[in-house]
A and B are shown apart, each in its own frame.
Chain A
Amino acid sequence: MTVLSLLSLLFLAAFSSLASANSDYLESLVLQPLPQSALLASFNFQSNDSQTSFDERHFRYFPRALGQILRHANTKELHLRFTTGRWDAESWGPRPWNGTKEGGTGVELWAWIDAVDDEAAFAKWITLAQSLSGLFCASLNFIDSTRTTRPVVSFEPMGTHAASDNLHLLHGTLPGEVVCTENLTPFLKLLPCKGKAGVASLLDGHKLFDASWQSMSVDVRPICTQTGECVVQIDQSVDIVLDIDRSKRPRDNPIPRPVPNEQLVCDTSKPYHSDDTCYPLESTSEKSWGLSEIFGRSISGSCPLTEGSTDGTVCLRVPHEREVHATDGAVEVQRPDGYTRCFTLESSTPFDLAIPEQEATTQVPLDEPVLRAERTIVGHGQERGGMRIIFDNPSDTNAVDFIYFETLPWFLRPYVHTLQATITGRDGLRRQVPASQFIKETFYRPAIDRERGTQLELALSVPAASTVTLTYDFEKAILRYTEYPPDANRGFNVAPAVIKLGSADGGASHPIYIRTTSLLLPLPTPDFSMPYNVIILTSTVIALAFGSIFNLLVRRFVTAEEASAMRSQTLKSRLGGKLVALRDRVKGKTAKTE
């Protein structure tokens, strides 16, 4: 894995320098313009608390709410992801943080839980999911046994754990969960500065959730140094890809109306060019933008808790010759790589950046992704379908080894014996080959209806300069009518597959993760309103007919004399009689006294 992005190297460098620090808090923002007027903004917040103070329930930077949950659920290491949209690797290059800080569409949660056996671990896992559901206002409580898997090789602990711990890895996804502002607010509350100061002050729900792609992550892990000092580290990050044009539109007028005629950029060299005919010209210059323009506000100074950090807090990755206007007072440091410049914030003065429009001369180089993966459902009809997974290795020299991990809901029943592979070289020829040629190892745990989903982990190897397509067929189960969601639904979501690219060189402990898009599985849906209509109609008729007949049958018809005779028998009439007698007596007495 020689190709690691400079961006990730930067992150890793920051990462390792911080890992040893004890009980501190750091935050950073990296901005990088991407092609097609996109802008990647990576926010990172990291704090350490010593293990001893964590054990004594003495929380300094570590959020108490989360700490208590983790202790209650015996969770040693926690990873929580909220992601929306898809990363466009073709235009935007490799993923930020090498994909380690993003999840599949929706919510993804995995944790190492200390428990004596599987059952106890699962009970703690449910506790954890339920508690986090409340904390993050997300439907994490829907992670039940059907959505929980125990990956074997796809995930490795990021922290250092004592050998004595009996750790269980549990993993759950909610691909249909919609991530929105109600998840952002609790996320910000976990930060020491609560989004009031520092780079977190840029995080506005309106702008954040207008992004083309967005991922929020929370990672908690214990880190121990050689000397035996242990810290509990919480690492929160928000990565978003904003569309500069869209974000610059004013909030009160967000509609992309056609531009006025005079603002059209036309190719005037065309022979037909005239006042009413315009062949649009591609703009070659870099767009102008500023922090307050894109995020709607500027950074309100640094968070006071980030004491003594020498590195810049806000980093911008544009070529050095690019003109950048920063607020006075911010210290600018240009890194020697030629593309990175960082600014250190003052604690009380607001910070803003503005980049004017400029003719593009050089571009920040984007690395080629190591592997491209695409997963789609093929076939049609209500009964059967097929899954097609395409792995494309763009490298001309190196084969790629990776772990492919997918969880399927129980109502999607794969036929693993139909697993087939085709390989397409750069010459475009397709060849059917046995799947075992690429699959080195398989871990398969079949589904049990209504109890657990399918878990499939494959160790694969894709040769250089080729595309491997895996296909298998599946059958769609028929659900019970109560198992359909009560509201309108477009189908059932299938969780994205996770691909873990092992780092081949030197066994560094930071693999690359890629996630495919989630899938939509349309299941045969009965017409629920039809029985409803029938029931309503028949109920009405029966109620009308039955009501009147029942009334006739049980009512006693009596004559007026009988009725008055009967009335004297009842408690009410007897009481009434007594009352009358009493009143008469009282009246009689008063009459007597007169």
Chain B
Amino acid sequence: MATPAALPPLPFNPSRVRSYVLRLPLFTRLVLLAIIVFWLLELQTVWSVKQWGSLIPEEINIGTMYRLNTYPFIHFGFFHAFLNLLALTPLLERFEAEHGTLTAVALFFGPLSTFPAGAYIVIERFVLHRNTEVFGASVWVFLLLGSEAIRTFKSNPYFSLGPYKIPTWTSPLFACGLVSIFVQNASLLGHLCAIFVGYLFGLGYLKVFVPPEKVLRWIEGKLNLLGRLPHYVSVDQKTFGRYGVLPTTTAGSERATPMSYLGSSQRLAAIRKLRSNPHFLFVHLPHILSFICIVAGVVWLLLLPLNDYSRQTYISENALLPGQVHAYFSGSEQHIFRGYKKELEAILGRQTPSGQDNRNEEFTPAVSDKIQSILRAAGLKVATQKYEYTSSGITHQGQNVYAIIQAPRGDATEAIVLVAAWKTADDELNLNGVSLALTLAGYFKRWSLWSKDIIFVFPPDSKSGTQAWIDAYHDMQPAFVQPLPLKSGALQGGLVIEYPFDHRFESLHILYDGVNGQLPNLDLFNTAVSIAGGQMGIGSNLQEMWDHNDSYEMRLQTILRGMVKQGFGYATGAHSSFMPYHIDAITLQPKGDGWQDEMALGRTIEGLCRSLNNLLEHLHQSFFFYLLMQTNRFVSIGTYLPSAMLIAGNFTIMAIALWLRTGYYTGLEQTAVKPPVTAEETNKQAATLTEKSGANTAQQPAVKTDSSSIIERQLALPLTLVVSLHLLGLVPLYIFNNINHQYYPTATYASIAINAILPTVLAASLTRGLTTTPRDQSQQSLLIKSFSLLVLGLFLSTLATLNFSLSFMIGLLCTPLSFVNRIDPRTASRPVRSVLAVVGLVLLNVLSPPVVLLGACWYSGVDVETVLTQAAFGWDVWGMWTQVVVWCVWWPAWVTGCALLEFSLF
């Protein structure tokens, strides 16, 4: 064998599997195809394949006899289909190989489907009087197992377990029992019927249904099936047919080895050739695997909205008891609410004598004093906090007013926060929200049932005020934020009230995204939905999906919107600042024009506070990592995580493959004797931009060279380059967070220009500056790529557990980096290389971080300056680290990719 000696032995040989799959006979292929097609058909929601084709005892009449044949093709979900496929393939393949395609068709569309079905229906309907529907190819699996077992029984009647002899024909029954124990919803009766028919078949009682050989020969002869159909197993060829399949069961002889499907000597030679083809193993296979990973990751995400992969939400923490109490906030409290509102309006009117139209809506000391006096009159402990933040040359300052209802008999160990910001997250005046919070403060004060303190916070805006307050609450505030003079215990939950308009509302929009993609406990969100919907009759929305009709598209859109917000990691409202401190918080925004008034919102908040008040423990029962697709459906981390992990895994696979390749395989010696590449291959290269260093080795017998020896890797340069590029990422990170906001567009365009130049400079200096052999250059470019991708893969898979969406988005944007490489000067002539490299560079530059930013801004119609100012504000105030990922992970990987392409030019 020409396989390099140092090649680690593979536990199973992929080429064997491949050859096996390629050799599957015709009918088996068709059955497998049909099963997959039916599974795919089941994914759509318009027409239920299951309802159409499954075996339902009471649905069977003359018109629906087709069900007796269709039920084995239909499956319930991916895993059902997949497992049955795995089990069925070898059995069916063997059956067909032994009996011929025509016989298999005749039997499997005839008695072998209908008999078990008939037996099942008779027993289910007339003996048990039930109506359980069954479907799935497991019926054939057990049937074939049954017939196999009888054949085994004939040759080898018992296997002994100690002194006991157990007849071998019982083995399918054991299997059936195990399946019923371990697999949910497995139909024991259906399997038993199948095994029974299998026994009959094995014993030869069903021989009558096998078409006579003469007829088969005639058909074959007339239609020339053997010539026309690929993979057809002829009557003559069966068992000893053209594949030269070794007999699996021969009378009197021992059982054949399980490897018997290995082909004839001719076949074996092909496989050997494949195994001895390191070019395929080291160059093509990683690319194929990476590509499969990426496609699977994206498809996985697209599958999530389906019912099979998402779950109905539920309240996990029993203590919450949402909506179990009567909310009393009504009646004369509304008069007080109006009183407070008029009072605040009067102050606003006084601030600008010009009138209502352009009234000064700032949170002035007059407003602050009024709020304080109202809270004091209600008997709360009131305090204020001043803060000042400077970001991108803009100063944000203000004064928070907050008040505490000390729980009667409480010991200041726990608290709930209610926030009513003067300006909402959309920068509207939150007059109703503030008035409502003031009214609730007076109302809550009268109750004696609070086990936790209730803190009312009135920040001047939704961006910085709560952040300053919560930082100071934990004594983590920066220098320009005052410490809090008054405190309570550990915060157990937070609610933000927004009500920026004067008319009645229709539904509640619940905001839940936190800074850096952190989410509140799902229980809090569920409680809000359940109280609003179940108790108050207020519908809820999320992610600005106003008319969600529960279709696949809507669900997917909701998930994607949630992912975009999570991925950007900015604060979506006043509640977001609470999340880094592990305090669960949500914002309630009334939306639409309906018949719910502020008192209904007040009652919802009362109900939520009562639920939070019930908590014995910090919210921890339910999920912290989820994707919501509707107010009552979600995907949990276990289901969605593989999506981002597959994308991140593609980089790691490629990195490991490159590492192996640099050590074991260069392709150099082979190319030395190769003719120049053909035109076709050049085109292929252009399509994939993959490296094509060794050409057509598959056609040649393996060249006995020193390729089996271990090659020394030159690590210094690649390591230095990758590490220094990642460190270089700190420079744009610093610049984009610290310059004045008006220079942001300029800086963006400058960075695009630098992005175009930097890889060229790198490539030129590396190729010209270092005098190395071409072989070393080739190895080093591969190593650079390997390290860069390794860091990227590691980082993205770690990030996926923290911020799935960000990892997924960056991963997708980086996918071309897996496939770009230095075009080897030995495989392509200089002009070809130049053209390819330039095309690749242009494509890559479209996917550079600043260009993507510009494109996203253009698409969403937002100013670049606004976005970057917001990002810098997030970095300075909220502690957002999306920029770190962009500049210290994505950008270095991208520069490396570009530099590798640029190498081809020199």
Contacts and interface: CB of A to CB of B under 8 A. Distances in A.
B448 A210 contact: yes
Interface stretch (B66-74, B126-134, B327-335, B881-889): B327-335
A260 interface: yes
B162 A388 contact: no
A258 B331 contact: yes
B339 A270 contact: yes
Interface stretch (A117-125, A273-281, A347-355): A273-281
B396 interface: no
A261 interface: yes
Contact of B334 (A36, A243, A276, A489): A276
Interface residues of A, number: 66
Interface string A262-275: 01101100111100
A520 B489 contact: yes
B177 to A, nearest CB: 9
A525 interface: yes
Interface stretch (A376-384, A498-506, A566-574): A376-384
Contacts of B335: 261, 264, 266, 276-278
Interface in B421-442: 442
Nearest to A266: B339
Given A86-B411, A270-B343, A261 B332 contact: yes
Interface stretch (A194-202, A211-219, A412-420): A211-219
A359 interface: no
Nearest to A557: B164
Interface in B323-382: 328-336, 338-340, 342-343, 346, 377, 379, 381
Interface stretch (B10-18, B77-85, B509-517, B614-622): B614-622
A246 B332 contact: no
Interface in A516-543: 517-520, 522, 525, 527, 541
B476 interface: yes
Contacts of B615: 490
Contacts of A245: 446
Contacts of B728: none
A522 B618 CA distance: 9
Contact of B328 (A258, A276, A380): A258
B855 interface: no
B10 to A, nearest CB: 32
Contacts of A377: 490
A264 B332 contact: yes
A518 B411 contact: yes
A43 to B, nearest CB: 18
A488 B331 contact: no
A257 B443 CA distance: 9
A522 B338 contact: no
Interface string B854-898: 000000000000000000000000000000000000000000000
A517 B412 contact: yes
A84 B343 CA distance: 38
A377 B414 CA distance: 12
Contacts of B582: 380
Contacts of A255: 328
A519 B332 contact: no
- The A interface is mostly helix, strand or loop, or mixed, namely loop
B406 interface: yes
A395 interface: no
A279 B377 CA distance: 11
A427 to B, nearest CB: 14
A212 B490 CA distance: 20
Contacts of B406: 86, 88
B617 A490 contact: yes
A211 B414 contact: no
B408 A243 contact: yes
A429 interface: no
Find the residue from B328, B335, B343 having the highest chain A CB count within 10 A.
B335
A105 interface: yes
B475 interface: yes
Contacts of B443: 258
A517 B339 contact: no
Nearest to A549: B161
B333 A258 contact: yes
Given A86-B406, A520-B489, A525-B620, A493 B413 contact: yes
Contacts of A552: 161, 164
A256 interface: yes
Contact of A280 (B182, B330, B442, B490): B442
Contacts of B331: 257-261
A490 B448 contact: no
Contacts of B447: 256
Nearest to B410: A85
Nearest to B583: A380
B413 A518 contact: yes
A214 B164 contact: no
Contact of A276 (B162, B338, B413, B474): B338
B332 A260 contact: yes
B319 interface: yes
A491 B452 CA distance: 14
Nearest to B174: A548
Given A36-B379, A278-B339, A280-B442, A258 B329 contact: yes
A157 interface: no
Contacts of A471: 475
Contact of B446 (A256, A388, A557): A256
Interface string A423-441: 0000000000000000000
A525 B620 CA distance: 10
B340 A279 contact: yes
Contact of A85 (B339, B411, B617): B411
Find the residue from B340, B408, B476 having the highest chain A CB count within 10 A.
B408
Contact of A520 (B182, B339, B414, B442): B414
B409 A489 contact: no
Contacts of B340: 279
Find the residue from B340, B408, B413, B487 having the highest chain A CB count within 10 A.
B413
Given A257-B331, A278-B335, A280-B377, A380 B413 contact: no
A157 B490 CA distance: 36
B484 to A, nearest CB: 9
B188 to A, nearest CB: 14
Nearest to B317: A488
Contact of A491 (B408, B448, B487, B490): B490
A337 interface: no
A214 B410 CA distance: 11
Interface string A355-387: 000000000000000000010111110000010
Find the residue from B319, B447, B492 having the highest chain A CB count within 10 A.
B447
B723 interface: no
Nearest to A211: B409
Contacts of A386: 475
A513 B104 CA distance: 95
B339 A488 contact: no
Given A85-B409, A490-B618, A90 B381 contact: yes
Contact of B490 (A254, A520, A553): A520
Find the residue from B331, B340, B448 having the highest chain A CB count within 10 A.
B448
Nearest to B447: A256
B448 A243 contact: yes
A282 interface: yes
B727 interface: no
Contacts of A508: none
Interface of B: 161-162, 164, 181-182, 319, 328-336, 338-340, 342-343, 346, 377, 379, 381, 406, 408-414, 442-443, 446-448, 474-476, 487, 489-490, 492, 581-582, 615-618, 620
9 contacts: A88-B406, A211-B408, A246-B448, A257-B331, A273-B339, A276-B334, A277-B339, A279-B339, A380-B582
**9 A-B pairs closest in CB distance:** A378-B475, A279-B339, A520-B413, A256-B446, A278-B335, A277-B338, A272-B342, A258-B331, A517-B412
Given A259-B331, A260-B331, A489-B616, 6 more contacts: A211-B409, A243-B448, A267-B339, A376-B487, A379-B476, A541-B181
